[in-house]
Amino acid sequence: MSLKARLIGAGAVGAVLTAALLIAPHEGEVRSTYADPLVRTTVHPLGIPTACFGQTGTDIRMGQAYTAEQCAQMLVGEVREVLHQVDTCMPGLPAGPRAAFTSLAYNIGAQNLCSYRLADRARQGDYAAACRGIDSVVYVAGKDCRDPANGCSGIVKRRNQERAVCEGRAAR
In a structure prediction context, what are the per-residue pLDDT tens digits for the chain, which is 172 residues long? 898 898 988 888 899 999 999 999 999 999 999 887 666 555 555 678 899 999 988 889 889 999 999 999 999 999 999 999 999 999 999 999 999 999 999 999 999 999 999 999 999 999 999 999 999 999 988 899 999 999 899 999 999 999 999 999 976 5
Return d(Cα 37, Cα 18) in angstroms, integer: 28
Cα 59 from chain centroid? 19
Please tell me whether the overall predicted TM-score, pTM, comes out greater than 0.95 for this model. Answer: no
| Run of H or E including 138 | none
